[in-house]
Structure 1
């Protein structure tokens, strides 16, 4: 044994919706009980068809996802973030990104209903796909 300890990790999907804010808070509360780290993940992908916004260079989808993620963290916790919380954006569909992030995690936490469009999908599709694709137990927060 090499003496290194793999910390318990909880992954939470974030799209800025009220349900994802509840999922963030739930994940942090659970992490405090388990002595775990929380990894907040926001998925992003450009639309399949180029839009006039893309053509004009109005913002980057990755930067937009980061802004949504940062705002969600501020909305959920205020100016002082929990010490065991890290956050990142990842390119790809939300369910696939969260399934990949769930590898080796203790839990994946998602909101029941997210935003549609670029940052997520409509009622239950990401949470339902997460239940079927995740590599760990999934907690769906109302």
Structure 2
């Protein structure tokens, strides 16, 4: 873990600053590739996908965040399952912060909607991740 921190921090006395990352996949195929961010602040907006509900099969969207602050905006027209594995991180869902170590934590959204789940699989280390419901 210590080595991971040193991989994030720039060398040579440079000042470390966050960069902005805004990702809004347009298709399920693009969403399946996921997002891997390090030292970033940004938004993952899953509402812009052409979902064409109901989903016939489960789709997993991987979000790997290291030393980052990320807001994940989930759509409101399909069932969504958020799976979180956080190490020294913070997960904010429904206005509640849960920090420290979360392993294989899962929350369902829009469970009354038909079809298979859109699964947002979060792997966060030294990060803050906020789940924001559509609109």
Say yes or no: TM over 0.5: no
The structure richer in strand per residue is 2
The structure richer in helix per residue is 1
Short-chain TM bin: under 0.3
Higher relative contact order (CA 8 A, sep 6+): 1
Q: State TM-score, norm by structure 2.
A: 0.26
